[in-house]
A and B are shown apart, each in its own frame.
Chain A
Amino acid sequence: SQQGEEDPQALSIQEGENATMNCSYKTSINNLQWYRQNSGRGLVHLILIRSNEREKHSGRLRVTLDTSKKSSSLLITASRAADTASYFCATDDGGTGNQFYFGTGTSLTVIP
């Protein structure tokens, strides 16, 4: 299946540090998205990057995409305790792009 994999599974950093999470996927895609999930809540859409884009920024978030390596990274700069959550990448299967497959997630803990 197209389900992606995030790396690392868990990450613990000090407040103010940068956090980098990686996502690998298997087949060609049209788009890749990143989501955040706070404990006990639904997923919240963070950012979408298209297959013809290599980098995208949104506030303290920076996403890169390398389609040749079938991988993406999410960088959170100057992390805050409120960034503590699980982060998921989601990819389509390169077809209609109507359905997305979620990775296994990275659990980020930001220590105040």
Chain B
Amino acid sequence: DAGVIQSPRHEVTEMGQEVTLRCKPISGHDYLFWYRQTMMRGLELLIYFNNNVPIDDSGMPEDRFSAKMPNASFSTLKIQPSEPRDSAVYFCASRGRRYGYTFGSGTRLTVV
């Protein structure tokens, strides 16, 4: 298994542009999580899905953030419009029956 796959690895965009981050979880894992990591705030849970259904999105910072999981093998996190304070590393993680998460390598987002 290739693990959790995120794309792109790096994204540099201008303020006001739309950004879409992508994630392919491990096949058979029924939980998917989106985290954001910054030096100031550490790892923050943004949203998680169970069987493609959003369960808790209370960590999504603003309406500018949205996430979807149209099927078991794909999820997106969209920021529209992006702002410089959104600059961070965004991680996707998936989990199966066992509690340990498997993380992707992350997307480093820079909004200038």
Question: B-contacting residues of A (Cβ < 8 Å)?
Answer: 3, 31, 33, 35, 41-45, 48, 88, 90, 97-105
Contact = CB atoms under 8 A, between A and B. Distances in A.
Binding site secondary structure of chain B:
strand
B56 A99 contact: yes
Which of B42, B45, B55, B104 gathers the greatest number of chain A CB atoms within 10 Å?
B42
A45 B102 CA distance: 7
Contacts, number: 46
Interface of B: 4, 31, 33, 35, 42-43, 45, 48, 50, 55-56, 91, 93, 99-106
A98 B29 CA distance: 13
B103 A43 contact: yes
Contact of B99 (A3, A33, A41, A103): A33
Nearest to B98: A48
A99 B100 contact: no
B106 A41 contact: yes
Nearest to B56: A99
B43 A98 contact: no
